[in-house]
Structure 1
Amino acid sequence: MPPNRLLARRAGIDTYQQPVVYMRSDCDVSRAEGFQSQAQVEVICNGRHLLAILHQVSSSWLRSDEIAFSESAWSLMGAAEGDELVVRHPPVLDSLAHLRTKLHGGRLDYVALRALMSDVSRGRVPDIHLASFVTVCAGKGLDFDETVALTRAMVDVGERLDWGTSPVVDKHCIGGLPGNRTTLIVVPIVAACGVVMPKTSSRAITSAAGTADVMETFAPVDLGLAAMRRVVEREGGCIVWGNAMRVSPADDLLIRVERPLSIDSEGLMVASILSKKAAMGSQRVLIDIPVGALTKVRNSSAARQLSRKLISVGAALGLQVQTVFTDGSQPVGRGVGPALEAMDVMAVLERGAGAPQDLRERALVLAGLILEMANKATPGMGKSLARAVLDDGRALAKFVAICDAQGGLRVPPKAAHTHCVSALADGVVSAIDTRLVARMAKLAGAPRDPAAGARVHVCVQDRVNRGDPLFTLYAESLGELQYALSFVRSQLPIVHIEAKGEP
């Protein structure tokens, strides 16, 4: 076999979204090239190029003439078992000089950020450099001009859609609040009114469910650009997974590195949100900012500051952005986890007697504001129009039609095992720890198991008696259920109850 060539092998190892390859440390290619573990290598097969992180192997499961691929790398490479591959050092990245400029206190203009984001979007920038970029942008590391330039650059290195109509609307929630699944109600209301709303959403990374996870219990969300466009042209709206398309692809890779670092970067947040909206061809965007002690935005001062930046950066990109501050003090609806949140959504759309009213009202407020932004309702009258569309069944019919267009409506699954946690004393619910609620739902298996999660039976200010149900855990296996319960017992109280006299 010619030098620098190895045979492809699928390792079957899940490395999440990071492409990883495995080579014997004593193989001829590794020795000749001077490769070391954690180095970035370029793999070439049938004209396709892949940049991946190298892990070296000394055991006999891998032959010296083979290179093994993680699941992420295998998918991206598109090789077949036994294909002959070229392995070499990757080309030198000139864009890393711009990163060094920022690390030394310099400012970056559009040209520099465009070059850097272009390499990021192609997977050419190693995670260690991405982490340094995220870190140096943390806090107030990006000024206004840099934030605008970064947002433009993130849009320009990916696909940008044009729907040939106006207005095209969208919404986004800053997040951090369990159960806040308004999108699945807002989109069908708005689309039923004749307004175009192509909604791309994310899957959960640190939460118990993302909007795409919840929607996937109803219909397929992994649609490409062409399929998504057909849905929108047919029904006026969609709810799909954003990562399935090259819409602001640099943002997807930055998020993958940013989330595990748990670094708060307002500039990166603004660029992330608005680059996706601009790339999707949206013109008018409503942004929901939940405010609460345990949400991403802790107080009204921080909310106002973020709002000003979103509006001003949006204006610089030609987007009309409006923000709304909402209550982030307790979960929205009852369910936390994909299928449980889906059941709340369907209860609202079907106008069931037991539908969570807080989810319904929040969705109506947001839908009403979007209808006003789209000039479908006069100021102050949007909520009334949204309520009429929901109450007469048009929103439900549109949601079913969108699901059918995306591949067919299905019934959300139900968990095999449940356990109810009850109140230990009489009193009034004074607080619900939203972070602990999300955590216990995740430990029960959400969102990996769509049916897993938690259902919260009480709201703040509810009066409860000893033995009344506070929340129920749902899991696919007894082991996961017991694991979540052990966490709950170690963290009590998750629902805070104050003893009070009779009213």
Structure 2
Amino acid sequence: MSIDTLQLRRIAIDTYHENVAYMHRECGVYRAEGFQALSKIQISLNGIKILAVLNVVDDASIVQSGELGLSEQAFQQFNCVEGSMVTVNHAEPPKSMDAVRRKINGERLDRADFDSITDDIVESRYSKMEIAAFLVATGQNSLDRDELLYLTRAMLQSGDRIHWDEPLVADKHCIGGIPGNRTSMLVVPIVAAHGMLIPKTSSRAITSPAGTADTMEMLCEVNLSPTQLHDIVRRERGCLAWGGTARLAPVDDMLIAVERPLGIDSQGQMVASILSKKLAAGSTHLLVDIPVGPSAKVRQMRQALALRKLFEFVGDRLNLHLEVMITDGRQPIGRGIGPALEARDVMLVLQNDPEAPADLRQKALQLAGRIIEFDPDVRGGQGYAIARDILESGRACAKMNEIIQAQGPKPVDFSPGSLCHEVAAKSDGIVTEIDNLQMAKIARMAGAPMMKRAGVDLLKKLGSPVKKGEILYRIHAEFPADFNFAQNLAMQNDGYTLGSNAELLKPLITF
């Protein structure tokens, strides 16, 4: 065995979008090359080279001195069997880190800088610490509109693109921040039933208690291969799938893997993430929903208007027909917060159930109506009526069931977690405010979205009259530790403000 070659060993650890290698401290290569823990190494096998972060271990049961262990993420890239011989060398530091350091110092970056940064990230030359430095630099020092265009274009070019060969491919995206806002799961079947192509690929939750993919996973498979995705959309005119398997703007997934635990969600990164993913998915027409409210991501109308201009600037230069709706973000949409409870709300609306949440239904119809008006055969102002007819006639529900069957149905059970705590009103009054952030935190503490049946079930919404001791909402969890965390958080701040009708937050105008 050569001094710089090691026997490959598969280590069954999911390192989530980061290549990690494991080397024994007594390994000859480790000693000879002067490697250090958390340094980057280059691993070569049959002409394939990958970069990985090195972890040094002392336990021979994990990896022996003549072996190199690879995490699941890294091992899969070699497409080989355990025992193969690999060559290990030092990895060159990513040259684009110079640009990141310049951004940290407040300098403006050009197109070549962003191309270089995204190339290095997608080739795994950045550690998660280095990615975090890039995210913080672009978040703190912000991106001007040209930098945002460069970043979006670079992210778009980092992976594959889907071409549908149709003049109109519709999509819809909400910037998030409003719990329970599962309008995509209603918009897609309505628009697809109208006959328009709407291949909806979604990410999983970053800082929220549920993303569209997390919630749709209650009903069917969402991890679809590009071939499956293409076949389903051609047949059903729509889908609701996770975008991570299609290698669409993959650098975005790598950034999200770091954003999630840090709770970072800057506006510049958000615009680049949304538009690069939508363009990679083949969208030609996009509707963006920006909710505005005191505890939403966007809290003032002037911020929403500025964000709309950013979306329109980048979309226009990348040949994307883009419209923005500014919507009411004063409170959670629907009743459920968390995958199972949100899926329940969606199906109640689709089934035209009298118990369906009226606000979720109304907002979905507004959004679907605007998208239907992208159709050149539909006159302006007619979209809402068409969307409502599709929903009330049952055609939307039928289309959703067809999409579920095509993606691979799962047993339907919307029952929430068995551990339940009821949060009661501390006084009489009218519900004047509901803190979106606090309700999302409580649901996440309860275990959502990882625990699908965890979350919060709202019984009272804005304007509801309540008596002292009346139940405002229920917390559901599957595990005692999560349950206790959520209970304690709700005891510190239940997220509700009670007052008089005069103190009720006024609704925003929907654009």
| TM-score when normalising by structure 2 | 0.92
- Preserved CA contact (<8 Å) 1:8 1:79: no
Matches within 5 A, 1:70-469: 70-91=71-92, 93-100=94-101, 102-103=103-104, 106-139=107-140, 141-263=142-264, 265-408=266-409, 410-414=411-415, 415-469=417-471
1:446–1:453 Cα contact (<8 Å) kept = yes
Report SS of the residue matched to 1:287. Answer: strand
Name the amino acid aligned to 1:316. R
Cα displacement string for residues 179-220 of structure 1 (whole angstroms, at most 9, x for unaligned residues) = 000000000000111110111101112211111000011110
CA contact (8 A) 1:426 1:499 kept: no
Provide the C-alpha distance between the structure 2 equivalents of 1:426 and 1:258, rounded to a whole number of angstroms: 40
Q: Distance in 2 between matches of 1:267 and 1:421?
A: 37
Question: Would the aligned equivalents of 1:3 and 1:29 in 2 still touch at CA under 8 Å?
Answer: yes
Q: Name the CA shift for 1:337/1:490 in 2 (closer, same or farther; >3 Å).
A: same
Contact kept in structure 1, 2:221 and 2:408, CA below 8 Å: yes
Tell me: CA distance 1:102–1:469, structure 2 relative to 1, closer, same or farther (3 Å).
closer
- Could you tell me how far apart the structure 1 residues matched to 2:447 and 2:76 are? 26
- Determine the C-alpha separation between the residues in 2 that align with 1:409 and 1:235: 18
User: Residue 331 of structure 2 contacts residue 435 of structure 2 at CA under 8 Å; is this kept in 1?
Assistant: yes
My pick for the range that moved more, 2-11 or 146-155, is 2-11
Deviations 1:345-384 (A, max 9, x none): 0000000010000000010010011111233532122111
Q: Is the 8 A contact 2:287 2:322 kept in 1?
A: yes
Task: Name the aligned partner's letter for residue 57 of structure 1.
Answer: V
Matched residue type, 1:443: M
CA contact under 8 A between 1:330 and 1:432: conserved in structure 2?
yes
Hey, what does 1:5 align to over in structure 2?
Answer: 5
SS in 2 for 1:441: helix
Which piece of structure 1 moves more, 436-445 or 87-96?
Answer: 87-96
**341 and 264 in structure 1: CA distance in 2 versus 1, 3 angstrom threshold:** closer
Call closer, same or farther: CA 1:444–1:4 in 2, change over 3 Å. same
Q: Which amino acid aligns with 1:339?
A: A
User: What is aligned with 2:32?
Assistant: 32
Shift of 1:105: 5.2
Quick check: 51-60 or 67-76, which moved more?
67-76
- Provide closer, same or farther for how the CA distance between residues 376 and 445 of structure 1 changes in structure 2, counting only shifts above 3 A: farther
Q: Return the alpha-carbon distance in structure 1 between the equivalents of residues 354 and 431 of structure 2.
A: 23
SS in 1 for 2:41: strand
Output the CA distance in 1 between the equivalents of 2:454 and 2:261. Answer: 23
Deviation per residue, 1:428-473 (Å, 9 max, x gap): 1111121121111112221111111110111011001233221111
TM-superposed CA distance for 1:5, in Å, is: 1.9
TM-score by length of 1: 0.94
Taking the aligned partners of 1:364 and 1:326, their CA distance within structure 2 comes to 13
CA contact (8 A) 1:25 1:58 kept: yes
Q: Conserved in 1, the CA contact under 8 Å of 2:425 and 2:469?
A: yes
Q: Out of 441-450 and 360-369, give the one that drifted further.
A: 441-450
Select between 258-267 and 466-475 the one with higher mean Cα deviation: 258-267
Does the CA-based 8 Å contact 1:140-1:267 persist in structure 2?
A: no
Q: Secondary structure at the match of 2:139?
A: coil
Structure 1's unaligned 5+ residue stretches are none
Q: In the alignment, which of 490, 500, 505 is matched to residue 488 of structure 1? A: 490
**Which ranges of structure 2 fall in alignment gaps of 5 or more residues?**
503-511
- Work out the CA distance in 1 between the residues paired with 2:265 and 2:286: 23
Q: 1:485 to 1:376 in 2, by over 3 A?
A: farther
CA distance in structure 2 between the aligned counterparts of 1:489 and 1:106, rounded to whole angstroms: 45
| Alpha-carbon contact 1:169-1:374 (below 8 Å) kept | no
1:153 counterpart SS class: helix
Deviation at 1:396, TM superposition (A): 0.4
Equivalent AA in structure 1 for residue 292 of structure 2: V
Residue in structure 2 matching 1:474, options 473, 476, 485 = 476
Q: CA deviation at 1:478?
A: 3.8
Q: Return the alpha-carbon distance in structure 1 between the equivalents of residues 133 and 447 of structure 2.
A: 32
Distance in 2 of aligned mates of 1:197 and 1:416: 36
Q: CA deviation at 1:298?
A: 1.4
Residue deviations 1:304-331 (CA, integer Å, cap 9, x gap): 0000010011000001111011111111
Work out the percentage of aligned pairs sharing the same amino acid. Answer: 43
SS in 1 for 2:373: helix
CA displacement 1:122-177 (0-9 Å, x = unmatched): 22222333223223322553222222222122112211111111211111111011
| Partners of 1:217 and 1:206 in 2: CA distance | 19
Q: Is the 8 A contact 1:400 1:409 kept in 2?
A: no
Q: How many residues align?
A: 500
Q: Matched residues in 2 for 1:135 and 1:397: separation?
A: 45
Higher alpha-carbon deviation: 92-101 or 278-287: 92-101
Deviations 1:244-263 (A, max 9, x none): 11101111112223344445
CA contact (8 A) 2:152 2:272 kept: yes
Do 2:158 and 2:250's aligned partners in 1 also have CA atoms closer than 8 Å?
yes
User: Post-superposition shift, 1:474?
Assistant: 1.5
Q: For residue 51 of structure 2, what is the aligned residue in structure 1? A: 51
Q: Which amino acid aligns with 2:194?
A: C
Give distance in 1, aligned partners of 2:132 and 2:434.
Answer: 34
Contact 2:422 2:472 in 1 (8 A): yes
Residue 112 of structure 1 and its aligned partner are, at CA, apart by 3.6
Q: Which amino acid aligns with 2:187?
A: V
- CA–CA distance in 2 between the matches of 1:431 and 1:58? 54
Shift of 1:85: 2.4
Structure 2 distance, partners of 1:208, 1:442, is: 5
Q: Deviations over 1:69-118 (max 9, x none)?
A: 33433444545443332222124544444445545555433334223322
Q: In the TM superposition, what whole-angstrom CA distance separates every residue of 1:1-24 from its partner, at most 9, and x where no partner exists?
A: 222222233443443432222212
Secondary structure at the aligned position of 1:137 is classed as helix
Q: What is the rounded CA distance, in whole Å, between the counterparts of 2:266 and 2:500 in structure 1?
A: 40
The aligned amino acid for 1:52 is A
